[in-house]
């Protein structure tokens, strides 16, 4: 899942290890998320967004591949 985690991290000048400590995961997990090699759980996604005080959509940009949205269905 595409994300802006590394940009947010560098904007706030914190290391992967520091971020990992704040959201209680390992540094390797933060690294794997930034490299799009691991899709975090919903809980961790919200934790990261809460930490950076942004919305989940600001941080993560999944390609959900929807054919239609609700307004197109109705």
For residues 26 and 54, give the distance between their C-alpha atoms in angstroms, rounded to a whole number. 22
Query: Judged by CB under 8 A, which stretch of 4-12, 25-33, 55-63, 66-74 contacts another protein?
Result: 25-33
**β-pairing verdict for 60-61 and 2-3:** antiparallel
Shortest distance, position 60 Cβ to another protein, whole Å: 15
Q: Tell me phi and psi for residue 2, to 5 degrees.
A: -65, 145
Q: Is 47 in the site for another protein (CB under 8 A)?
A: no
**Considering all CA atoms of the chain, what is the largest pairwise distance in Å, rounded to the nearest integer?**
47
The tokens describing 19, both together, are 């971020």
Q: Is 15 in the site for another protein (CB under 8 A)?
A: no
By CB under 8 A, name the one of 5, 8, 9, 25 that touches another protein: 25
Residues that bind another protein in the complex, under the rule CB under 8 A: 20-21, 24-29, 32, 38, 40-41, 43-44
């Amino acid at each position: 899942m595409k994300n802006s985690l590394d940009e947010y991290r560098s904007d706030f000048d914190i290391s992967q290890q520091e971020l990992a400590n704040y959201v209680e995961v390992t540094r390797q997990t933060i690294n794997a998320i930034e490299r799009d090699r691991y899709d975090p759980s919903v809980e961790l996604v919200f934790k990261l967004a809460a930490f950076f005080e942004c919305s989940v959509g600001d941080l993560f940009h999944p390609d959900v591949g929807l054919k239609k949205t609700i307004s197109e269905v109705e």
